[in-house]
Amino acid sequence: MVKNTSKNEIEKQISHIALIMDGNGRWANSRGLPRYEGHAQGLITLRKLLRDLKGYNLDYLTLFTFSIDNWKRPKEETSKLMQLLRKFISNDLSELHNNDVRIKVIGSRKDIPKDIIDLIKGAESLTINNSGLYLQIAFNYSGRQEIINATKKIAFAAAKGELDPNKIDKNIFESNLYSAGIPDPDLIIRTGSEKRISNFLLWQLSYSEVYFEECLWPDFNKNKLDVAINDYKNRSRRFGNVISEYR
């Protein structure tokens, strides 16, 4: 029997927003600039947004910064993107730490330069005890690969006799994801007018609300974030359930 649930029981304050920050290259191209300039401007937009988020009471923010598939881009562009990550960690880590932000980077460490891995480990270690915004950065990330990796870990545990296959459930599977222990996003926002998920958090987004923003990422700002959040608040999240006042 399906339980009728009121809107107020289901619709809760946003705790977790995920962002696909798309459109940096197109922003630069439209201005006759190298694509790198679009990524650099995108970093400025991100820095400002992180400061603006102080008044939102948000618990988690997940950023899709670099996909495994992005390695297909020209080497010069990927090299510039690595430089921007170095710049972000080196220049912004102190401010984030002072604002009680905890940093966690999810994704594969394969093919990542050692100095960047060291910077990532340092940022995670420095902020591990912070209790403010949990900033989850998807870097060198693939949603499909995350699911494959979780499946392998479970399979190896079962093969060693450490796990009864009949007891594998949603909780066990999620505990083997990169994002283990982090609640699923309430809202995912994608900028840049494209309407697809692009291999991002494929397991975690099963019941997330999706908002597609037309503007390119460098033009995103607090006002556009407010529009997306207000749109979310006007939706009814059912999670497969029935909301009596809508029936």
Known catalytic residues?
22, 70
What is the spatial distance between Cα 192 and Cα 215, in angstroms, rounded to a whole number? 5
Strand partners, 39: none
Which of 108, 189, 97 lies closest to 135, judged by CA?
Answer: 97
Cβ(192)–Cβ(218) under 8 Å? no
Side by side, which strands form the sheet with 134-141? 102-106, 134-141, 60-67, 16-20, 187-190, 209-212
What is the spatial distance between Cα 133 and Cα 61, in angstroms, rounded to a whole number? 7
**Backbone φ, ψ for residue 85 (5° rounding):** -65, -45
Q: Which position has the token pair 């998920």?
A: 197
Q: At what angle do helices 75-98 and 114-127 cross, to 10 degrees?
A: 20
**Backbone φ, ψ for residue 102 (5° rounding):** -100, 135
The residue count for the chain: 247
What is the spatial distance between Cα 188 and Cα 181, in angstroms, rounded to a whole number? 18
Say if strands 60-67 and 187-190 run parallel, antiparallel, or are unpaired: unpaired
What is the spatial distance between Cα 199 and Cα 190, in angstroms, rounded to a whole number? 13
